[in-house]
Copies of this chain bind each other. A is one copy, B any other.
Amino acid sequence: MVKRWNTAKQVAEKAWEMGRSDPRKIVFSAKMGLALTLISFLIYLKEPFKDLIRYSVWAILTVVVVFEFSIGATLSKGFNRGLGTFSAAGLALAMAELSKLAEDWQRLMIIVNIFTVGFCATYAKIYPTLKPYEYGFRVFLITYCFITVSGYRTGEFLNTAINRFLLIALGASVSLGVNICIYPIWAGEDLHNLVTKNFIGVATSLEGVVNHYLQCVEYKKVPSKILIYQASDDPVYSGYRSAVESKSKEDALMGFAVWEPPHGRYNMFRYPWKNYVKVSGALRHCAFTVMAMHGCILSEIQAPAEKRLVFRSEVQRVGCEGARVLRELGSKVKKMEKLGPGDLLFEVHVAAEQLQRKIDQKSYLLVNSESWEIGNRPIEDEESDPQQEGKFLEHKSRSEAVLDLRMVEVPHSWEGNVTLADNPPTDASPNMFRKELSWPDQIYQKSNPVAKEGQESKTYESATSLSLATFISLLIEFVARLQNLVDSFEELGETANFFDPLDQRPPV
């Protein structure tokens, strides 16, 4: 009993929270209540029309079915319903006239007709390009069958059709009136906000990923929800995930938004909603690299912390600048403003360039030189330029001298040798022989369950430094993809007639 009470309390709290966070939902519910109330005023109808109540079901049906959250959805459903009803009524009347000619076979003909129409309409309904009109086909079928069947009973095909149509028109006008005139909720506005939100989400994820990576945050156990790509609380993950996942939502909203008349800030016929979806698609293309970077954190292959630290400030800067660009674009989309005169990407390109240079200089950190086939760095260098690079070299050489003591591991040669052909031929054969011997040994270890774990970790161990290279490379790829995003944004700005920030300036 107490438990139930608690559950009820929780549900009530959640419901309250839902209303508080999006008051439009409360307004929508109230509007629905109002529309139904208006329709039920039918009960006040006096005599000559009193008979209409018998058909009141059509008006109620129309209100409940057509009344959707956004104006666009309401209009598109209303249109579907109207079109379905009209064409079905026309067809049914024509068929009725035809079947009257059949005299004795009338009933049979009606039934055959219903089968044929049912088959064709259903087949058309599942035809891919007609998917959006699915609802219209349903209405078509209902109307056709109803008029045919009930018309047969009364013989008043036309009367049935007209009454039905009147009440549907009444229901539709009540719902459209209430829905559009009182606090309209626009699908286009929702689409606009969704795109803006995606920008913020990806920017947050990017920052999170870069910071986590530099702080060497590791998942003790990767949340299983991430492994099977389900929603999870992790803010880094949910940021890009919601941008990636919102595709179908965007398409649906766009489908509704195109039905909406020009309104508010979207004051233009044929408003380019498509371009919002395009911008969001380009953002998604960027989000995929953020996702891949996050993969570097999720991976069991982790670059050592000290190596990450070397690139810390550059990586951090690229991350910050990248996120800044995303936020900037997001706020431009929100404010519906064109790009300013400067190059938005300038800073992030400089940062990426700087990172690139740093890598160029320090790429020895990204690889394991200890097992290079071409031999390790000689222990004592000639120190040809002692002033500039001497100390550095000495330091490096010593550290490698230690590494040199380990056995050089060389891979098995089955196919490996073939591709070596485009390197100059070497006298590597003695080496090969050693490999051939050591390989079966490892195979054996592998099939030995105790040794397996160790063997595997050894395999991935040397990949750790490459993982850093991957992260950085993905970050740079992210920056490269920003151009595409900016291009889509500019296209949107042009087609949607975004406001030019330069116009605001006082004339010089």
Interface residues of A in 411-447 (CB under 8 A from B): 411-412, 415-416, 418-420, 422-424, 426-428, 430-431, 443, 446
Interface membership of A54, Cβ < 8 A: yes
With both beta carbons as reference points, the residue of chain B lying nearest to A19 in the complex is identified as B123
Q: Report the stretch among A1-9, A202-210, A254-262, A292-300 that lies at the interface.
A: A292-300
With a cutoff of 8 Å between Cβ atoms, the chain B residues found around residue A278 in the complex are 228
Number of copies of this chain that the complex holds? 2
CB atoms of A228 and B40 under 8 A apart: no
Interface residues of A in 211-230 (CB under 8 A from B): 226-230
With a cutoff of 8 Å between Cβ atoms, the chain B residues found around residue A373 in the complex are 361-362, 392
With a cutoff of 8 Å between Cβ atoms, the chain B residues found around residue A124 in the complex are 15
Q: How many chain A residues touch B (Cβ–Cβ < 8 Å)?
A: 164
CB atoms of B228 and A282 under 8 A apart: yes
With both beta carbons as reference points, the residue of chain B lying nearest to A435 in the complex is identified as B357
Interface membership of A350, Cβ < 8 A: yes
With both beta carbons as reference points, the residue of chain B lying nearest to A284 in the complex is identified as B229
Interface membership of A346, Cβ < 8 A: yes
Interface membership of A105, Cβ < 8 A: no
Q: Which one of B14, B122, B289, B378 lies within 8 Å of A28 (CB-CB)?
A: B122
CB atoms of A377 and B377 under 8 A apart: yes
Interface residues of A in 431-478 (CB under 8 A from B): 431, 443, 446, 456, 459-460, 462-463, 466-467, 469-470, 472-474, 476-477
CB atoms of A356 and B462 under 8 A apart: yes
With both beta carbons as reference points, the residue of chain B lying nearest to A139 in the complex is identified as B64
With a cutoff of 8 Å between Cβ atoms, the chain B residues found around residue A420 in the complex are 310
Q: Which one of B152, B392, B460 lies within 8 Å of A374 (CB-CB)?
A: B392
Interface membership of A233, Cβ < 8 A: no
CB atoms of B43 and A149 under 8 A apart: yes
Residue of A18, A128, A411 with highest tally of chain B CB at under 10 A: A411
Bound complex: CA A391 to CA B406 (Å): 23
Interface residues of A in 110-135 (CB under 8 A from B): 110-111, 114-120, 122-124, 126-128
Bound complex: CA A126 to CA B353 (Å): 49
Interface membership of A156, Cβ < 8 A: no
CB atoms of B419 and A310 under 8 A apart: yes
Interface membership of A102, Cβ < 8 A: no
| Known contacts A34-B115, A64-B141, A422 near B310 by CB under 8 Å | yes
Q: Which one of B227, B285, B470, B472 lies within 8 Å of A282 (CB-CB)?
A: B227
Bound complex: CA A379 to CA B37 (Å): 91
Q: Which one of B380, B430, B476 lies within 8 Å of A388 (CB-CB)?
A: B430
Bound complex: CA A250 to CA B282 (Å): 25
Bound complex: CA A29 to CA B117 (Å): 10
With a cutoff of 8 Å between Cβ atoms, the chain B residues found around residue A389 in the complex are 374-375
What mask results when residues 389 to 421 of chain A are scored 1 for a CB within 8 Å of chain B, else 0? 101110110000000000001111001101110
With both beta carbons as reference points, the residue of chain B lying nearest to A476 in the complex is identified as B463
18 contacts between A and B (CB under 8 A): A29-B119, A30-B119, A37-B111, A40-B114, A43-B110, A57-B146, A227-B285, A229-B288, A306-B422, A309-B419, A310-B423, A314-B419, A354-B412, A360-B370, A361-B411, A363-B366, A374-B393, A382-B382
Kindly list the 9 A-B residue pairs having the minimum CB-CB distance in the complex, ordered from nearest. Answer: A228-B281, A363-B367, A357-B411, A313-B415, A33-B118, A33-B119, A375-B389, A292-B292, A361-B373
